[in-house]
C-alpha cells in the first residue's frame, strides 16, 4: 500500500508539472492608434487636435518601455493614479523635423501625426512630451495629454488603398524580431513585380552592410505593393511623396501619415522604408516615422543605410556643410544623439571607451580641405593620420564648429563608395535592433 501511495504521489507531480509549465502566454494586446493633427511654429505653443482612435488588425509585438529615448518626442501611458508609465515610446515626426528649420521661426503649419500603442487594460492618461533641445540634458517636457478609456470601442482602421504583401525574409515571430517593411511608391499596377524585385534587391543591399549583416536573423522583412496611377513623384502616386518637401531640394517626404499607417498596418512592422520608383537623388529618414529611398538611384546603397541610420537608430547627420533650411544652434548643449557631441566635457565623452589614450581631443584633421573638395576627389581623406581612429573631429550636425563626430569617414558623413559605419554608429544601430528584437538592451 505504501508503494502504491508513493506511486500515486509521483504520478500526481508528473501530471501537475506540464500543466504549470505549459500555461499559455498572455495574448498580445491589439494595436490602438491615435490619429491627430499637430500644429505649431512661429514661437507659439504647439497644439494637438484628435481626429480618431483606431484599432489596427495586428497585435502589439514591440517593447513596452523605451530605455534609449532617441526621439524628439515621447508618448507615455499611465494608469489613473500611477507614478510610472506602463508604456513609453520615443519618436520623431515630420512636424518635429520641420520645427527645427528656419521656416518654423516665422510661420505656423499643421501636420498629420499618429502614435501607436497596445490597447490598455485599464483607463489611462496618454501624455506627449517634447525634448527641450536648448536645456542641459535635453529633458522631455509635457506638451499635451488626453484620456484613453479602456472600454471604448475604437474605429476599425481600414486602408484607403488596395495592398499586396509579400514575405521577403522571415526568421521568426514578430515579438522576437525587428519587422522591416518596404512599401511601394510611384509604381503602377503593371510594375508590381518590378517593385518586388527592387524590394528584394534593397533588402540584400542592406544586409551587405554591418551591423545589419551580423544581425540579419533578428529581422523579418516584408514588401507591400500599393499601386499608383502615375509613376512620377509629385504626381498622382499612392502616398503623395513630394521629392522637394518643406521647401528643401532633394528632401522626399509624404504628408499623408494616416494613409501610410492604414496601408502599413496590413502586416506587422516596426520600421518603414518607402521605395520610390525613381533614379533621382531625393530621400529622407525620420526616427520611427519612415524612410524614403529612390530605389533606382546609383547611390541607393548609401541612401538606404544612411537614411535608415536616422529612422531606425536615431543617428544624427555628421556632415556639416551649408544645409538650406537649418541654422546653427543659438545655445550649444550636449546633444542626445549617440554619434555627435558638443565636446563640453572631454572626460565624459559618450564614446570615450573607444578612444586611445594617445588620440588628442579635439582630433586634428583637414576640415577646410574637405569642404573645398566636397564635389571633387576626396581620396586624400583615407591618408589622414587618424583615419582609423575614434576621436572627436570638428564638424557635424550641419555645423562646422559647434559639434564633433567620432571618426573621419562614416556613412553618416559621406558616401565614399564602399564606406562603412564607424564603431559608434554601428553600436547605436545594434542597440536599437537588439532592443526591438526582444533583448534587454536599452530597457
Is there a single domain that holds both residue 50 and residue 183?
no
- Segment 209-214 shows an average pLDDT of 98
Is there a single domain that holds both residue 104 and residue 233?
no
Is there a single domain that holds both residue 139 and residue 174?
no
- Segment 120-124 shows an average pLDDT of 98
- Segment 328-341 shows an average pLDDT of 92
Inside any domain, residue 10: no
- Segment 437-443 shows an average pLDDT of 53
Q: How far apart are CA 312 and CA 293, in angstroms?
A: 14
Share of residues in the chain with pLDDT > 70 (%): 92
- Segment 151-174 shows an average pLDDT of 96
Q: What grid cell was written down for 20?
A: 504549470
Inside any domain, residue 325: no
Is there a single domain that holds both residue 261 and residue 307?
yes
pLDDT of residue 20 exceeding 70, the answer is no
Is there a single domain that holds both residue 149 and residue 197?
no
Q: Hey, how many other C-beta atoms are within 10 angstroms of the C-beta on 89?
A: 21
- Segment 414-421 shows an average pLDDT of 90
CATH of the domain at 88: 2.60.40.3250
Inside any domain, residue 12: no
pLDDT of residue 153 exceeding 90, the answer is yes
pLDDT for the residue 438 = 79
For residue 191, CA distances in Å to 200, 205, 227 come to 14, 21, 8
Please, which pLDDT band fits residue 17 given cuts at 50, 70 and 90? very low
What torsion, rounded to 10 degrees, do the Cα atoms 263, 267, 271, 274 define? -40
pLDDT of residue 113 exceeding 90, the answer is yes
DSSP 8-state secondary structure symbol assigned to residue 119: P
Is there a single domain that holds both residue 38 and residue 95?
yes
Inside any domain, residue 208: yes
Mean of the per-residue pLDDT values of the chain: 92
Where do the DSSP E strands lie in 64-157? Answer: 73-79, 87-91, 108-118, 124-131, 140-148, 155-156
pLDDT of residue 327 exceeding 80, the answer is no
pLDDT, greater one: 25 or 19? 25
Q: Which residues contact 315 (CB under 8 A, 6 or more apart)?
A: 309, 337, 338, 339, 412, 425, 428, 429
Is there a single domain that holds both residue 168 and residue 310?
yes
Please, which pLDDT band fits residue 101 given cuts at 50, 70 and 90? confident
pLDDT for the residue 321 = 84
* Domain stops at, among 156, 176, 200: 156
CATH of the domain at 247: 3.40.390.10
DSSP 8-state secondary structure symbol assigned to residue 247: G
Interior angle at CA 309, CA 305 and CA 312, nearest 5: 110
Inside any domain, residue 60: yes
pLDDT for the residue 11 = 38
> 265-297, pLDDT tens digit by residue?
999 999 999 999 999 999 999 999 999 999 999
> 349-381, pLDDT tens digit by residue?
999 999 999 999 999 999 999 999 999 999 999
Inside any domain, residue 72: yes
Inside any domain, residue 6: no
Is there a single domain that holds both residue 203 and residue 287?
yes
Please, which pLDDT band fits residue 323 given cuts at 50, 70 and 90? confident
Is there a single domain that holds both residue 217 and residue 277?
yes
Inside any domain, residue 301: yes
Query: 411, 339 in Cβ contact below 8 A?
Result: no
pLDDT for the residue 363 = 98
Helix (H, G, I), strand (E, B) or coil at 360: coil
pLDDT of residue 69 exceeding 90, the answer is yes
pLDDT for the residue 123 = 98
Domain that holds residue 272: 164-315+431-436
Please, which pLDDT band fits residue 324 given cuts at 50, 70 and 90? low
Is there a single domain that holds both residue 184 and residue 87?
no
Is there a single domain that holds both residue 135 and residue 216?
no
* Domain stops at, among 121, 156, 191: 156
What is the tally of structural domains in the chain? 3
- Segment 201-229 shows an average pLDDT of 98
pLDDT of residue 15 exceeding 80, the answer is no
Q: What grid cell was written down for 290?
A: 519612415
For residue 118, CA distances in Å to 18, 59, 77, 310 come to 30, 8, 10, 25
Q: Hey, how many other C-beta atoms are within 10 angstroms of the C-beta on 206?
A: 20
* Domain stops at, among 100, 128, 156: 156
Nearest to 417 by CA among 379, 373, 367, 368: 379
pLDDT for the residue 421 = 98
Helix (H, G, I), strand (E, B) or coil at 443: coil
Is there a single domain that holds both residue 76 and residue 191?
no
Q: What are the DSSP calls for 150-170, one per residue?
A: TT--PEEP--SS--EEEEEE-
pLDDT of residue 199 exceeding 50, the answer is yes
pTM: 0.92
pLDDT for the residue 248 = 85
Amino acid at each position: 500500500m505504501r508503494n502504491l501511495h508513493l506511486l500515486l504521489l509521483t504520478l500526481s507531480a508528473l501530471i501537475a508539472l506540464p500543466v504549470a509549465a505549459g500555461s499559455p502566454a498572455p495574448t498580445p494586446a491589439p494595436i490602438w492608434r491615435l490619429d491627430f493633427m499637430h500644429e505649431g511654429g512661429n514661437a507659439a505653443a504647439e497644439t494637438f487636435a484628435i481626429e480618431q482612435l483606431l484599432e489596427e488588425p495586428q497585435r502589439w509585438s514591440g517593447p513596452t518601455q523605451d530605455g534609449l529615448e532617441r526621439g524628439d518626442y515621447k508618448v507615455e501611458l499611465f494608469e489613473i493614479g500611477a507614478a510610472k508609465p506602463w508604456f513609453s515610446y520615443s519618436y520623431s515626426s515630420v512636424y518635429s523635423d520641420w520645427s527645427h528649420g528656419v521656416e518654423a521661426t516665422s510661420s505656423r503649419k499643421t501636420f498629420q501625426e499618429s502614435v501607436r500603442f497596445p490597447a490598455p487594460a485599464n483607463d489611462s492618461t496618454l501624455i506627449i512630451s517634447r525634448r527641450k533641445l536648448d536645456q542641459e540634458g535635453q529633458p522631455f517636457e509635457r506638451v499635451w495629454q488626453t484620456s484613453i478609456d479602456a472600454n471604448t470601442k475604437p474605429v476599425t482602421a481600414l486602408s484607403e488603398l488596395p495592398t499586396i504583401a509579400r514575405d521577403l525574409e522571415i526568421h521568426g515571430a514578430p515579438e522576437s524580431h525587428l519587422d522591416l517593411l518596404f512599401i511601394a511608391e510611384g509604381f503602377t499596377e503593371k510594375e508590381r513585380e518590378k517593385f518586388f524585385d527592387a524590394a528584394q534587391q534593397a533588402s540584400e543591399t542592406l544586409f551587405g552592410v554591418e551591423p545589419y549583416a551580423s544581425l540579419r536573423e533578428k529581422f523579418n522583412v516584408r514588401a507591400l505593393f500599393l499601386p499608383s496611377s502615375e509613376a512620377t513623384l509629385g504626381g498622382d502616386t499612392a502616398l503623395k511623396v513630394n521629392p522637394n518637401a518643406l521647401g528643401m531640394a532633394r528632401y522626399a517626404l509624404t504628408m499623408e501619415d494616416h494613409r501610410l499607417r492604414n496601408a502599413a498596418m496590413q502586416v506587422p512592422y516596426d520600421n518603414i522604408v518607402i521605395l520610390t520608383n525613381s533614379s533621382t537623388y531625393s530621400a529622407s529618414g525620420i526616427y520611427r516615422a519612415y524612410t524614403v529611398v529612390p530605389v533606382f538611384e546609383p547611390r541607393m546603397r548609401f541612401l538606404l543605410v544612411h537614411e535608415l541610420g536616422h529612422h531606425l537608430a536615431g543617428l544624427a547627420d555628421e556632415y556639416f556643410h551649408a544645409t538650406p533650411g537649418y541654422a546653427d544652434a543659438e545655445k550649444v548643449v550636449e546633444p542626445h544623439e549617440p554619434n555627435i557631441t558638443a565636446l563640453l566635457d572631454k572626460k565624459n565623452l559618450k564614446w570615450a571607451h573607444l578612444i586611445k589614450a594617445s588620440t588628442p581631443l579635439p582630433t586634428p584633421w583637414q576640415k577646410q580641405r574637405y569642404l573645398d573638395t566636397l564635389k571633387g576627389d576626396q581620396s586624400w581623406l583615407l591618408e589622414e593620420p587618424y583615419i582609423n581612429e575614434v576621436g572627436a573631429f570638428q564638424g557635424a550636425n550641419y555645423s562646422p564648429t559647434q559639434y564633433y563626430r567620432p571618426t573621419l569617414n562614416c556613412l553618416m558623413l559621406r558616401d565614399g563608395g564602399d564606406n562603412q559605419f564607424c564603431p559608434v554608429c554601428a553600436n547605436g544601430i545594434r542597440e536599437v535592433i537588439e532592443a526591438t528584437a526582444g533583448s534587454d538592451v536599452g530597457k
